[in-house]
Amino acid sequence: MFKIVHQDGKARVGRLQTAHGTVETPFFMPVASKASVKAMSGSDIEDLGYQSLISNSFILSLSPGIDVVENIGGIHKFMHFNNTIFTDSGGFQVLSKDFLLKKSDKGVYFKDKSGKKSLYTPELVVENQLRLASDVAMTLDDVAHFGLGGKDYVDAIKRTHAWAKRSKQAHDELKESYNSKQLLFGICQGGIREEYRRFSTHKINEMDFDGVALGGLVVGESRKELLESIKIAVDSFDQEKIKYLMGLGSPSDIVQAVGEGVDCFDSIYPTANARHGSILTKTGRYMIKKIAYKHDKGPLEEGCTCSTCTHYSKSYLHHLLRTHELLGYKLATIHNLHFMNQLLNNIRTAIKEGRYEIFKNEFLEAYFSGKEAKEFSSQIQRKYQEKEEQQQAKYLLTHQNSSSKK
Amino acid sequence: MFKIVHQDGKARVGRLQTAHGTVETPFFMPVASKASVKAMSGSDIEDLGYQSLISNSFILSLSPGIDVVENIGGIHKFMHFNNTIFTDSGGFQVLSKDFLLKKSDKGVYFKDKSGKKSLYTPELVVENQLRLASDVAMTLDDVAHFGLGGKDYVDAIKRTHAWAKRSKQAHDELKESYNSKQLLFGICQGGIREEYRRFSTHKINEMDFDGVALGGLVVGESRKELLESIKIAVDSFDQEKIKYLMGLGSPSDIVQAVGEGVDCFDSIYPTANARHGSILTKTGRYMIKKIAYKHDKGPLEEGCTCSTCTHYSKSYLHHLLRTHELLGYKLATIHNLHFMNQLLNNIRTAIKEGRYEIFKNEFLEAYFSGKEAKEFSSQIQRKYQEKEEQQQAKYLLTHQNSSSKK
């Protein structure tokens, strides 16, 4: 099911076998929460070379409903994507202030947009994903929000482990009746505190999951804290297991996490950035809507072979994104997703050739000190950093409030 | 430049030769006001089989600016569309309340969104379109808004003719310096009053334009009034000239107008309808967002060969459009534009085979009495009709007010 075929330091190349083909690791998955990667069709994602993507069973349960996708014949047919599809449990989303009513050991009580109250249990989550007929299902986990105290983390970890056990049992029981080859991944929690993360990793590791995931990261912690937590978790898991870091998607983070032994990633990073006009390149990212690009005849990135760079100028993208033309979102998304897929190709090649450490350092040097990175780290960079910090502060405030209300 | 190759009653098949190829008439053009058919790339439009589309030189002069498109090497290169491109003068837009300050014989004084005041003249409009390097340019015309009195129509007609003459002169003078093979079409006005329309048609007909257009229609008049005005104008123009009815795009209207001898159409009808979830079929249009389609496994239209109908269910489109997923706009647009292109293919074939009258009657019978049409003419139809009537009333009120303020 998962086999490591090359090892270079902690970094490795492996093969994950699912009901819809083989995915070479390390890999990155675009996010299709509502059964569509924003602005892209399933065929568009295949054409870019992606062997897999991830959808979200909680979001799909709200709309169109699990029954709709099941009746059509499963998520592959529904969205016309023939490679591997992961589905997230949606633990992160159901626990957000938009939906959460109350957590209990039984599960999560939530209200949908119409105000209807429901109970979301580990067993229901497993069955929903079997009904969606995804290739890889994720367990329901309990995510303590970043910045909360120790008690919250301990509670979240305990519940995550109890739910993981119930998920595994339900999956084992139900799988046959769905005639399914679906894999089930367990998720460890523990925030950024070493003993919590180590304990949770250990617990999830002992259960017999087909793969293991690092949850509760990329939620506001510093890059140093993130990297430390990754190291702890990866080292504590069995080495032969496939390791999935949920929600990580910036190129520099991925390059570093692969160096620590992570095999699998997903994030809205490249697609959300694209729609905001933030373009990924080897020499850093830049904002295409800046007035400097109004007359620029060049492609989004010199040397890029994506269809956007082949046919269109910076000038055209600048115009489309400034005037909110739908085509702009798609063309920018094509470039950013092509960039990510190329990056993962290059990562795998470097590992196979035993030069991952050199590749990593060269990539990070160019990404942080390149032409675009330097331009970005001017006024606009500062503006964005401030905005990100404000959003983070607001996020923490909101979640601390909603947590204290519980 | 334009040659009629088949005649069947008043309907005819012809060939329009431009700098970017041959367009067989009658044809329909999707609208790319900002150099993109909404949600579609230039290649997408080519792939659907379209030989031409229309952009808008006024809209482009506001953003990104004529200089931007010119510097890139013209509108074909800018938007990556290699077939024939028409550009409208934007007379209709510059005269709308969003922009208009004052009309004079010299031209139109308008303000852009930043509040900057400019003068828009027939000569500037011609030069802008030469700089954009479109294949067919349209003259600046003066459109009297539907519902205004006789004096307004007479003023608009007189100004339209004076501007048409100045446009032709400017185009003749400037064409060579741009090394351009661009064609220039004149536009007749006159609203729905027979003597005005006949007079304007006659005047535009005498000037030596490469093609002639019917302007100032499809702005709120009844279907009967529209058809009468088309008959008058088409009969008054020289028969060997190519005749373009601006802004007409509903399938039933096109089928009838072709029967009167119109050769060329453009409209946002199929694309705007698509984005609102209104799906065109041979048996009428229907609203895909209706709850009835939630579980429907069938394609948008049975027997349709477009890529949307080949790969996706009504159920998926229902979900995408209800949840505002960007992909939904594109997939619905593909179907509606494929439908329009097929319709025009069928129209041309019927004329070539000398059975246009039969085709027309069969099409209209199916379109107005078919399954979808019947469903549509229920509650939802009534709701939409009411809304359209309200919008029309509001439009008239606004324009009468802004007209009386002048």
Please report, for the domain that includes residue A83, its CATH number. Answer: 3.20.20.105
Using the 3D structure, point to which of B214, B243, B267 is the last residue of a domain.
B267
Does residue A311 sit at the B interface (CB-CB below 8 Å)?
yes
Same-domain pairing of A247 and A284 = no
What average pLDDT does the structure give for chain B?
91
Residues A319 and A223 in one domain: no
B58 and B171 co-located in one domain? yes
Beta bridge partners of B213: B187, B244
Last residue of a domain, one of A243, A267, A291: A267
What mean pLDDT comes out for the span B329-358?
98
Rounded to whole angstroms, the Cα distance separating B169 from A194 reads 80
End-to-end CA distance of chain B: give it in Å, rounded.
42
Asked if the structure places residue A95 within a domain, the reply is: yes
- What pLDDT, on a 0 to 100 scale, did the predictor assign at position A169? 98
Q: In this structure, is the dihedral angle defined by the CA atoms of residues B19, B22, B25 and B28, taken in order, positive or negative?
A: negative
- B149/B291 same-domain check: no
Q: Which of B31, B53, B68 to mutate to test the interface with A (most CBs of A within 10 A)?
A: B68
Provide the pairing of β-strand A108-111 with A2-8: unpaired
For residue B397, tell me if it sits in a domain: no
Least confident of B93-97, B104-108, B306-310, B341-345: B93-97
Torsion of CA A246, A249, A255, A260, to 10 degrees: -10
Question: Is A394 a member of any domain?
Answer: no
Are A178 and A302 in the same domain?
Answer: no
B211 beta partners: B185
Same domain for A257 and A379, yes or no, is: no
| B400: in domain | no
Q: Which residue is listed with tokens 């003719």?
A: B161
Residues of chain B in contact with residue A318, where contact means CB-CB under 8 angstroms, are 64
Picking from B233, B267, B301, the residue at the C-terminal end of a domain is B267
**β-sheet bridge partners, residue B4:** B14
Top-confidence residue, A149 or B379: A149
- What is the band of A150 on the pLDDT scale with cuts at 50, 70, 90? confident
Q: What is the mean pLDDT of residues B179-205?
A: 94
Q: Which of A297, A318, A326 sits opposite B38 (nearest CB)?
A: A326
Cβ–Cβ contact B295 with A under 8 A? yes
Query: Do both B247 and B283 map to the same domain?
Result: no
Is any Cβ of chain B less than 8 angstroms from the Cβ of A64? yes
Residue in A closest to B60 by C-alpha: A319
Would you state the pLDDT for residue A398?
43
Question: Of the segments A315-329, A357-371, B207-221, B372-386, which one has the largest average pLDDT value?
Answer: A315-329
Mutate to test the interface with B, among A63, A68, A82, A300 (most CBs of B within 10 A): A68
Give yes or no: A266 in active site. yes
Tokens at residue A176, please?
């046959």
d(CA A284, CA B103): 50
Find the range with the poorest average confidence among B255-259, B326-330, B375-379: B375-379
Q: How confident is the model at residue B87 (pLDDT cuts 50, 70, 90)?
A: very high
Residue-level pLDDT at B394:
47
Together in a domain, B64 and B171:
yes
- The confidence score (pLDDT) of residue A147 equals 67
Quote the pLDDT of residue B380.
45
Instruction: Confirm or reject contact between B68 and chain A (CB < 8 A).
Output: yes
**Nearest of B298, B306, B281, B299 to residue B366 by alpha carbon:** B281
Which chain B residues are closer than 8 Å to A326 by Cβ? 36, 38-39, 326, 329-330
Q: How far is CA A100 from CA A91, A111, A166, B88, in A?
A: 10, 7, 21, 53
The total of structural domains in chain A comes to 2
| Within a domain: A229 | yes
Predicted TM-score (pTM) of this structure? 0.92
pLDDT at B383: 53
- pLDDT-based confidence at residue A380 (cuts at 50, 70, 90): very low
What pairs with residue B2 in β-bridges?
A: B16
Told to judge if A88 belongs to the known catalytic residues of this protein, a careful annotator would answer yes
Q: Looking at residue A121, what is its pLDDT? A: 97
A403 assigned to some structural domain: no
d(CA B348, CA B198): 28
A399 pLDDT tier (thresholds 50, 70, 90): very low
AA identity, residue A63: S
The Cα of B169 is separated from the nearest Cα of chain A by a number of Å equal to 31
Pairing verdict, β B264-266 and B243-245: parallel
Burial A277-290 (b: 16+ CB within 10 A, else e): bbbbbbbbbbbbbb
Is residue B190 located within the same domain as residue B281?
no
Q: Between residues B85 and B194, which one has the greater pLDDT? A: B85
Facing residue for B315 by CB, picked from A68, A294, A322: A68
E runs forming strands in A82-170: 84-88, 100-103, 108-111, 117-120, 136-138
Is B64 close to A311, i.e. CB distance below 8 A? no
In this structure, are residues B5 and B263 in contact, taking their beta carbons and an 8 Å threshold?
Answer: no
Cβ contact B36:B272 at 8 Å: no
Alpha helices (H) in B64-121, listed in sequence order: 66-72, 75-79, 91-94
In this prediction, what percent of chain A has a pLDDT beyond 90?
A: 82
For A:314-333, CB contacts with B below 8 A are 315-316, 318-320, 322-323, 325-331
One domain, residues A202 and A320: no
In a domain, A400, yes or no: no
Q: Is residue A399 part of a domain?
A: no
ipTM attached to this prediction? 0.92
Do A241 and A284 fall within a single domain? Answer: no
* Domain hosting residue B254, numbered range: 2-267
Q: Which DSSP symbol is given to A367? A: H
Rounded-to-integer distance, Cα A83 and Cα A96, Å: 30
For residues A255 and A358, membership in a common domain is answered with no
| C-beta atoms of A294 and B64 within 8 A | yes
Confidence band, pLDDT 50/70/90 cuts, at residue A231: very high
Q: Is there a contact between B40 and A318 if contact means CB atoms under 8 Å apart? A: no
Segment holding B3, helix H or strand E? strand B2-8
How many CA atoms does the CB half-sphere of A262 hold within 13 Å? 30
Catalytic one of A44, A88, A141, A253: A88
* Mean pLDDT of the region B349-368: 96
B chain contacts of residue A325, beta-carbon cutoff 8 Å: 34, 36, 38
Looking at residue B406, what is its pLDDT? Answer: 30
